[in-house]
Structure 1
Amino acid sequence: MTAQSTAPAASRGGRWIDHWDPEDETFWNEKGEKIARRNLLFSVLSEHIGFSIWTLWSVMVLFMGPEYGLTPADKFTIVSMATLVGAVVRIPYTFAVAIFGGRNWTIVSAALLLAPTIAAFVVMEPGTSFTTFLLCAMLAGVGGGNFASSMTNINAFFPMRKKGWALGLNAGGGNIGVPVVQLVGLAVIGASAGPRVLLGIYIPLIVIAATLAALYMDNISSVKNDTGAAKDAVKEGHTWIMSFLYIGTFGSFIGYSFAFGLVLQTQFGRTPLQAAYVTFIGPLLGSLIRPVGGALADRFGGAKITLWNFVGMSVATAVIIVASMQESLPLFTTAFIALFVLTGLGNGSTYKMIPGIFHTKALAKGLTGEEAAAYGRRLSGASMGIIGAVGALGGLGINLAFRQSFLTVGSGTGAFVAFLAFYGVCFVVTWAVYLRRPAAQPTAEATASEAKPQLSYAEV
């Protein structure tokens, strides 16, 4: 089998592949793998910069001293709006690939990153109104959508046996955009340069990413939106249960990524440079360990790893509360970074659960073989966009909780108490839905139902 030429198709305005069959090993070995890897590379680049622009304001607020006239609550509101928009746009971005083509949408979504970056470059100075900063932060939220469209696009390029590796690399490469923008911010602050220098670094990078996508990426004609699957995913209870758990893992990761430096400044009086020295460490380790969470889930079961991960997150949060009350900066920083690592581990294990859950449901319906696999792929693919969007909203909750905590008690302690309670609920939900053993059936009933597959999620 051969793929149609990827030369520009005038009728559709881009590079289109009309035949794509990665499951055919001959096709894959001859040309499919080379094309897929090339698209993965430039998709990761665009998504990586998207994450950096989404979390840009976690660095911008470090530059905003007293001369800007903003309270800590104002700054938490600014980063909250970026988180909110980034979560909401993940839904339309999920469907955009099938409507416009993966290459075409990567070009558009990369180019859209110029809007928040140039806007921030123009307004970033004392005297600018709080409302203007708020609007610029909301614009930066478009960077959060790049993850959803990138994952959807790369999912179409790779065969089932390679999806885990490809999607893991795609997600990890994107997440690392968070610590990278914070590292660049550290260098800029360390050089006593202004925030416009940081923005000036990213503007040409965005242009390069969009240009490379135009030159080297492809669209796949067969990628279509399955609105029926989307409707089924919305009706499926597991979609919302996993969304809740993903709030606890990815929502925590992105929320803390926005808030870490601001908390160090506000609660412990750190200077921008002192805060920047440690702000990037947590997101970096949390991004790098995400594939480890997936690998552990492969070996021991995603539900088990997720369950014990929430135990670890609860312990780390309890230590943070103690450190916050004792005003111990070393203990606070160490525990916070440990919490970041656990959020990354949980990101990998929760996402790994999703296809396993829907495959198990297929088996319980009596489906077998490729029919069961197709059912699982269809629902898990549709649900991932919803789960990713709802999970990202957890970041909004974290930043609003910090805002309220600083307004009420003057520190982040109250917020961490709420987070501890939430992780406890996540632990209970994970155990009750995916690990609790069903009650023993009476012998007659058990005999009557022997032919029916039983739901068991412990290994997902």
Structure 2
Amino acid sequence: MATATQTGAPLQQHAPGRLGGRWIDDWRPEDPEFWESTGKGVARRNLFFSVFSEHIGFSIWSLWSVMVLFLPEPVFGIDPAGKFLLTTLPTALGAVVRLPYTFAVAKFGGRNWTIISAAALLVPTIATAVVLEPGVSYTTLLVVSCLAGVGGGNFASSMTNINAFYPTRLKGWALGLNAGGGNLGVPVIQLIGLLVLATAGAEHPRIVLFVYLPFIVVAAVGAALVMDNLTTARNQPRAMREATREGHTWIMSFLYIGTFGSFIGFGFAFGQVLQNQFADDFATPLAAAQLTWLGPLLGSLIRPLGGSLADRYGGARITFWNFVAMAVGAGVVLTASQVESLPLFLVGFVLLFVLSGIGNGSTYKMIPAIFRARAMDAVAAGTDSAVADKHALRMSGALIGIAGAIGAFGGVLVNLAFRQSFLSTGSGDGAYVAFIAFYAVCVVVTWVVYLRPGNELAGV
């Protein structure tokens, strides 16, 4: 086993039976001396490129929220319901691949898998550039849009990897920064799409794709040159099976549907919602694109704050009040829809984006806090602290992967709710009512399980 050198740099080696690349065997982030002398610098270096790679992954995952703006109905013959389906499929595939992407960190190493997952983004980008032209069949577009879902998997592997690098007291901040930087990929690609629409016009969607090709290469090559693998992140598959038998896995996954599911679902659907809800104000794709990026941008930027607030006040407390505020925000959107007030509608939706970002950070902070509390109880009962910490790390990494996958399905539900609501009533009111009801349930669940006095994990 490699150990830390006297200069503070952990040894990196290629051990037998492991995929090539730099592996760090001695990693003790909970040890204050090790963290200050060695761990902090290495963790920050890996965090930086993890954020960059995940950022590009989110951009490609949300690619079709931009591409549908380049598909005018008279030219491509795709109605609003068909466009909602084009954004729903990559959301669904992104949710599905999150579980195997979480396994992959343990199997191949965080650095190695970042290289592979970044390079895989070339597939949907090139495929879209090849087929996207007038006359292409709708079936072909559905298949190609689905490929963009691989970008959604990057989040799960990145979060699981970074979770292993940081001590519990900093996980809320680190996971929030990692996820927030990744989430920024949604508004950034929408801004690039807006720029292309405003300058080159709706006839040139390939420009968006050509912009991203070199950045995908930089993400893969940069990960190869800068990042590390941790042996402490291994054996994840066994932890994943154990986590499926843990009740908190399903509770936290349910709550994450409400936060991340809202963020990614609204991010994919907002442009189309504007065009359908306020057709007179957003008659052209350019008009809608001018506003679609704002909510995802604010929601992404504020996610680290949600993690930091959770570090300070407790993830459950922040999550509880955040869901209360999200129910209010959805109520504002419903009211605006009924009175046909565009300014109030925009205020309500931006509020939902911001709150979903805060909730993303606070819910992910709760995950390691749950197992850290369990570890402390185990140590008090006589378990070796190193064994308890290792188990807590493995379980929290597994739960992060599961919650990330299930939470992403919330984005699918959001898009399907909008699609059905507009098909049935011509407005999104039915979807807004469903969102209010769901957030209310999340408020109750958070209180009963994590805040009610006397609970085993009250206040995590």
Q: TM-score with structure 1 length normalisation? A: 0.90
Question: How far apart in 2 are the matches of 1:112 and 1:170?
Answer: 20
Match of 1:176 among 178, 181, 184: 184
Matched, 1:213 2:223: yes
- The aligned counterpart of 1:258 is 268
Q: Percent identity?
A: 62
Q: 1:290 to 1:149 in 2, by over 3 A?
A: same
List alignment gaps of at least 5 residues for structure 1: 439-454
Matched, 1:418 2:434: yes
Please give the residue correspondences for 1:449-460 in structure 2 after superposition, counting only pairs within 5 Å: 455-460=455-460
Question: How far apart in 2 are the matches of 1:159 and 1:195?
Answer: 43
Question: How far apart in 2 are the matches of 1:388 and 1:11?
Answer: 29
Q: 1:299 to 1:21 in 2, by over 3 A?
A: closer
- The aligned counterpart of 1:429 is 445
Match of 2:209 among 184, 199, 202: 199
- The aligned counterpart of 2:125 is 117
Match of 2:257 among 247, 257, 260: 247
- The aligned counterpart of 1:136 is 144
Out of 247-256 and 5-14, give the one that drifted further.
5-14
Matched, 1:338 2:370: no
Question: How far apart in 1 are the matches of 2:19 and 2:437?
Answer: 52
Q: 1:130 to 1:293 in 2, by over 3 A?
A: same
| Letter aligned with residue 427 of structure 2 | S
- The aligned counterpart of 2:362 is 349
- The aligned counterpart of 2:295 is 282
Deviation readout 1:350-381 (Å, 9 max, x if unpaired): 11222233344456666478365555434222
| Letter aligned with residue 56 of structure 1 | L
Q: 1:22 to 1:413 in 2, by over 3 A?
A: same
Deviation readout 1:99-144 (Å, 9 max, x if unpaired): 1122221111011001101111111122111111111111000000
Question: How far apart in 2 are the matches of 1:12 and 1:87?
Answer: 28
Residue 47 of structure 1: CA displacement? 0.8
| Letter aligned with residue 25 of structure 2 | H
Match of 2:87 among 71, 79, 87: 79
Question: How far apart in 2 are the matches of 1:313 and 1:380?
Answer: 26
Residue 215 of structure 1: CA displacement? 2.2
Matched, 1:189 2:197: yes
| Letter aligned with residue 264 of structure 1 | L
Residue 272 of structure 1: CA displacement? 1.2
List alignment gaps of at least 5 residues for structure 2: none
Q: 1:128 to 1:322 in 2, by over 3 A?
A: same
Q: 1:92 to 1:197 in 2, by over 3 A?
A: same
Question: How far apart in 1 are the matches of 2:199 and 2:459?
Answer: 51
Match of 2:156 among 126, 148, 151: 148
Question: How far apart in 1 are the matches of 2:370 and 2:11?
Answer: 38
Question: How far apart in 2 are the matches of 1:164 and 1:356?
Answer: 9
- The aligned counterpart of 2:62 is 55
- The aligned counterpart of 1:16 is 22
Out of 347-356 and 409-418, give the one that drifted further.
347-356
Residue 274 of structure 1: CA displacement? 1.3
- The aligned counterpart of 1:387 is 403
- The aligned counterpart of 1:452 is none
Deviation readout 1:23-42 (Å, 9 max, x if unpaired): 45565555544333222222
| Letter aligned with residue 344 of structure 2 | L
Question: How far apart in 2 are the matches of 1:308 and 1:142?
Answer: 33
Out of 209-218 and 47-56, give the one that drifted further.
209-218
Question: How far apart in 2 are the matches of 1:211 and 1:437?
Answer: 50
Q: Is the CA contact 1:87–1:393 (under 8 Å) kept in the aligned structure 2?
A: yes
| Letter aligned with residue 379 of structure 1 | M
